Structure formats: structure tokens, C-alpha cells
A and B are shown apart, each in its own frame.
Chain A
Amino acid sequence: MSDANREVARRILDEVFGQGRMETADELIAPDAIGHDPSLPAPVQGPEGVKQAAAGYRAGFPDLRFTVDDQCASGELVCTRWTAIGTNSGDFWGMAPTGRQATVTGITMDRISGGRVVESWTNWDALGLLQQLGVVPAGMPA
């Protein structure tokens, strides 16, 4: 069960967010699922919410791809530590594309029931992303 749940979590990152394969969201996200991500304006709801979030990130970073660095599972919960890399060649968060490539890390905890995600919590390095895009200073000046 743990291995199957880990695979669900991995496929969502890799296929939905990393490849834009939105049909995977229909397959692996429960209709009433809730996703919590403080970088988004509101909780993500259901497969359509996940698709919109993924589409937004991929619009800003069309070559976005994810690497799963580590996973652990206990019961219904799966914790995934990941690294994402992409080139900012599209509009993102109201900003014109910078052309810069950025690497960020994050952690997602998924609660999985019946082979589908019913709730998730994601925290990722949004500050690091803004620093790499040149929007926020990358460290204090000497």
C-alpha cells in the first residue's frame, strides 16, 4: 500500500506538473480533494483546481520538470521531497518572462485514500524562486 501511495504522489508531480498531462489529475485526484499551498491565493479544489494550478506554473515555466528526491509513507500519508527546475519563458505572477532558469525545492504531504489524493499540503521555496528571477535581492549586499 505504501509503495502504491508513493507512486500516486510521484505521478502527480511528474506527470501533471512536470509534463502537463492533465488527465493524470482526473485519475489520481479525488473529486472533493483539497490542496493547501500558501503560494496560491486559495486552496486548490479537486482535479480541476490541480489542473489550473499546474497550468499556471507551466505557463510561466513551459519546460518545468520535477525530480523526487525522497519519499516516506505512513498509513494514508505520503511525504515527498522534490526539486523543480524550469525556465521562466512565460508570464508568471503578473511578471513578464525573465528568460532565467530557476531551481527550487519543496515538500508535499499527500493524504491518499482509495488510490487518490484527498488532501495535500505543499510548501516550497517561493522566496528562492523570486530571488533567482531577480525580483527580490539574492542576499544582502556586502
Chain B
Amino acid sequence: MLEFPKPRHLPCPDCGQSVPRGEEGGHACDDERRLDYVLCQLREEISGFDGQLAAWLASPAGRFAAWLAQRER
């Protein structure tokens, strides 16, 4: 019976680099590529951070935290 096709390369789960199947053991992630890959996965979270921070600062808890920080400066 024919098997479902498998690609000859798969991206490293940590850095996204294309690695030939069977050579995963010899692969070492490049730090910069890994950083870019992680940032890509987190891009929605990163782009929403400022809005979420502003919303929290406007909340009672956020306003209290800001007041407390200012008082303790």
C-alpha cells in the first residue's frame, strides 16, 4: 500500500530552518534565526502588548500600581 507522502525536508521546531529528514541530529540552530523564528511566533502577542498595557494601566489595579510606584520613587 502506498504511504502518505512525506516531505524530504522539515523545518526545525526550534528555529524553523529547513533540515533534511534524517539529519535532525546534526542540526545546530543559529541563534539569530532562532530569535527571528520565536519573534515570528509571538508577533501577535508583541503587537498587542502596548494596547494591553494601556488597558491595564487604565484599570483600577493598574492605576493603583502606577500611584504606588510613583510614591515609592
Do A131 and B7 have beta carbons less than 8 Å apart?
A: yes
Which residues 112-141 in A have Cβ within 8 Å of B in the complex?
Answer: 125, 127-128, 131-132, 134, 137-140
What bracket does the count of chain B residues touching chain A fall in? Answer: 10 to 19
Residues of chain A lying within 8 A (CB to CB) of residue B41: 99
Q: Are B7's CB and A99's CB within 8 A?
A: no
User: Given A89-B40, A99-B36, A99-B37, do A128 and B16 touch, yes or no (CB 8 Å)?
Assistant: no
Number of interface residues of A (CB under 8 A): 21
- A132 & B4 in contact (Cβ 8 Å cutoff): no
Does B11 touch A at the CB level, under 8 Å? yes
Instruction: Tell whether A138 pairs with B6 under 8 Å between CB atoms, given A98-B40, A99-B41.
Output: yes
How close is B15's CB to chain A, nearest CB, in angstroms?
9
A132-B10 CB under 8 A given contacts A85-B18, A103-B18, A140-B3: yes
Contact of B10 among A99, A127, A138, A140 (CB under 8 A): A138
- The answer to whether A99 and B9 have CB atoms under 8 Å apart is no
Task: Report how far A99 CA is from B44 CA in the complex, Å.
Answer: 13
Residue of A nearest to B6 (CB): A139
| B-side contacts of A137, CB under 8 Å | 4
CA distance A121 to B18 in the complex (A): 27
| CB pair B11 A102 closer than 8 Å | yes
Interface string of B1-35 (1 = CB under 8 A from A): 00111111111000011101000000000000000
Residues of B within 8 A of A (CB): 3-11, 16-18, 20, 36-37, 40-41
What are 29 A-B interface contacts by the 8 Å CB criterion?
Answer: A87-B16, A89-B36, A97-B40, A98-B40, A99-B16, A99-B36, A99-B40, A99-B41, A100-B11, A100-B18, A101-B11, A101-B16, A101-B17, A102-B9, A102-B11, A103-B8, A103-B18, A127-B5, A127-B7, A128-B7, A128-B9, A131-B5, A132-B10, A132-B11, A139-B4, A139-B5, A139-B6, A140-B3, A140-B4
